[in-house]
Structure 1
Amino acid sequence: MREFVGEIASNSQLRHRNVVQLLGYSRRKGELLVVYEFMSNGSLDKFLYDTSKPTTLSWSQRRNIIRGVASGLLYLHEEREQIVVHRDIKASNVLLDGEMTGKLGDFGLSRLYDHGGDLQNTHVVGTFGYIAPELTKTGRPTTSTDVFAFGVFILEVVCGRRPILQQESPDLHLVDWVWRSWRSGGIVEVADARLEGDYDPEEVKLILKIGLVCSHPSPAARPTTRQVMQLLDGDLSLPEIPKDGRGEEPKES
């Protein structure tokens, strides 16, 4: 019931082309229903991981989905009277319409608060693999913890891999795997093999680096959501990513 009420409260006033629109809700005889606009292509994770899908997402589609979700997240974080922290950004919560436009959905875990305010500490929620490291210590969701999850999401879309690489022994986090590739000088090689090299390597490298910066373990080193949009649009220089460690805040290059 708490998640149901939270979803209605968070989503009833949201209007953005990259946020799934809530059309109505019902509570009847113990049954709770929320009704959203119809998204004919379903969730993004099906295209990334369902081998029965006849088509593979092209690089331009992936790039546009990443930018679209970033635009929706900017709206939630900075362009409303109240901030919405989503708290569960991942491929299965991004839905695709008939034109393959990516829209952020599932606001059951989201929270509202005023600009200049803070959310109180709460129990840690989200999906394993997307949870920012500071959340396990403070229990306090912020726009920065959303940015961390979005960084993991970027890597997930580009690489076509889940956040936890269970085929590795021991299980390896996708962020660490991409980070190792960056350190060895082969970051473009992590791009989804199903793309068959049909992409601009420099563009792939840039977006992967944005994913790494967003998923930096230090909140102070992550960009704001607006800076993420500026990075994706080429309006802001990418911070330098040192290859010898991730513990310090990167400096502008």
Structure 2
Amino acid sequence: FLVESLVDTIFSYVSYALGAIASCALVIIIGFCAGRTVYRRKNHKRRVKGKETLLSDSNRSLQILQFQFSTLEKATDSFDQAHKLGHGGNGEVFKGTLADGREIAIKRLYIRGKANTNEVYNEMDIISRAQHKNLVRFLGCCFTNTDSFLVYEFLANRSLDSILFDPEKKTELDWNRRLGIIIGTAEGLEYLHKGCQFRIIHRDIKASNILLDLKHKPKIADFGLARFYSCDKSLISTAIVGTLGYMAPEYLAQGRLTEKVDVYSFGVLVLEIVSGVKNSEFHPTETFETLIVNAWKHFQSNTVLEIIDESIMMEDVGEITRVVQVGLLCTQESPSLRPSMTTVIQMLKEKDFHLPVPSKPPFADECARLSSSFDSSCHHRQTSCLSDLCTFHSFKKCDPE
């Protein structure tokens, strides 16, 4: 009897112990599963919001609307090619229509490597901080495992280059509209340089990055290359980025990055708008002149009329000549001689504002030497190596190939 009682007691204790161990193990397993689920959910949210977190700084927390991929997919009919507005080196742009009827522009980005990823974050950061009537409005973003999307307001007339350099469409741009585009772009740049809380250099001002609304009002777009800067000293850029033909000589040669780099690009754009000719496609038959050098020579000889786009109904040749002079002042070789965008706006709006005589533009002497030294076969090819303002500091002659 004692033995049986002892066995029963031991069995009871063992049963209780096993039950307790089993209960503890079950609690641990449940806790582990619950913890892992919570961790995964938090980590997923962290990944989704990771792009947004990267845009925060000590001064301001940026709030960016995150679109659902399904919303963008539905808005573009699964990114049908019929809705494609254009493409570039960094991605392609689609027109979309939201459920409430609003039209949007969706930039689907090609993300290859850390550099391009940083460029996307940089564009989101800058365009979220900068709000102005002459800057394209950023609406939000969407990130999936395979694609990244930036969403902007849709502008019906698309980019300036699609109209300005089209022989038929350019007739839409009479002089008043062209002058409005010039002044509006100048006001947008002035805001970036002075009016915004964080001063910004765009670094890629050109006709394809100026968008036009229904009334042909301009808005500066594409801030992927833009940089914040301090007015105390110029930035030294380790990587020279931008579009050949629009980059200032001091930036090409030394990487010196100030707001005067944008002023130079703006000056090139002004001359393109007046002439209706793209700088990189300006290939005079007899010379190696750039568009800027050619305009300067005509200004010097009082023959500006010869470079004005024939599609412009010229009511005031004097006003157009004055705008050409502003463009030449912006493209002077020395950055210290170029006016600020604030001064540019005064020059454009105030007809009694005194304009100094522009100095010789970059590469003028090199163009003259090349024109006199190359034989007729090179001339017949009608190719100008300097048409895209290649760095003459590094290249002393054009490659005939």
- Counterparts of 2:141 and 2:289, CA distance in 1: 40
Q: 1:146 aligns with which of 262, 269, 277?
A: 262
Shift of 1:241: 3.1
The reply on whether 1:8 has 2:124 as its aligned counterpart is yes
- Counterparts of 2:288 and 2:150, CA distance in 1: 36
Q: 1:113 aligns with which of 229, 232, 239?
A: 229
Shift of 1:171: 4.7
Matches within 5 A, 1:205-220: 205-220=321-336
1:184–1:34 Cα change, 3 Å? same
CA contact (8 A) 1:81 1:115 kept: no
SS in structure 1 of the partner of residue 236 of structure 2: coil
Q: 1:178 aligns with which of 286, 295, 304?
A: 295
SS in structure 2 of the partner of residue 147 of structure 1: helix
Shift of 1:39: 0.4
SS in structure 2 of the partner of residue 222 of structure 1: coil
Larger C-alpha radius of gyration, 1 or 2? 2
Alignment-derived partner of residue 91 in structure 2: none
Alignment-derived partner of residue 26 in structure 1: 142
The 10-residue stretch of structure 1 (132-141 or 110-119) with the greater mean CA deviation from structure 2: 110-119
Q: Which amino acid aligns with 1:128?
A: L
- Counterparts of 2:353 and 2:167, CA distance in 1: 37
- Counterparts of 1:132 and 1:231, CA distance in 2: 21
Greater fraction helix: 2
Q: 1:227 aligns with which of 326, 339, 343?
A: 343
Identity %: 38
The reply on whether 1:237 has 2:332 as its aligned counterpart is no
Alignment-derived partner of residue 98 in structure 2: none
1:222–1:84 Cα change, 3 Å? same
CA contact (8 A) 2:267 2:331 kept: yes
Shift of 1:211: 0.1
- Counterparts of 2:354 and 2:211, CA distance in 1: 30
CA contact (8 A) 1:25 1:35 kept: yes
Q: 1:77 aligns with which of 177, 181, 193?
A: 193
The reply on whether 1:162 has 2:278 as its aligned counterpart is yes
Higher relative contact order (CA 8 A, sep 6+): 1
Alignment-derived partner of residue 39 in structure 1: 155
- Counterparts of 1:117 and 1:9, CA distance in 2: 22
The reply on whether 1:17 has 2:150 as its aligned counterpart is no
Q: Which amino acid aligns with 2:149?
A: L
SS in structure 2 of the partner of residue 108 of structure 1: coil
Shift of 1:165: 4.0
Shift of 1:172: 3.0
Aligned residues: 244
Q: Which amino acid aligns with 1:145?
A: V
CA contact (8 A) 1:164 1:172 kept: no
CA contact (8 A) 2:293 2:361 kept: no
Q: 2:211 aligns with which of 78, 95, 98?
A: 95
Alignment-derived partner of residue 129 in structure 1: 245
Name the TM-score, length of structure 2 as normaliser: 0.58
Shift of 1:173: 1.3
1:240–1:172 Cα change, 3 Å? closer
- Counterparts of 1:11 and 1:152, CA distance in 2: 24
- Counterparts of 1:79 and 1:54, CA distance in 2: 32
Alignment-derived partner of residue 365 in structure 2: none
Shift of 1:116: 3.0
Unaligned runs of 5+ in 1: 248-253
Shift of 1:58: 0.4
Computed over aligned residues only, the root mean square deviation of the Cα atoms, in angstroms, reads 1.8
Alignment-derived partner of residue 251 in structure 1: none
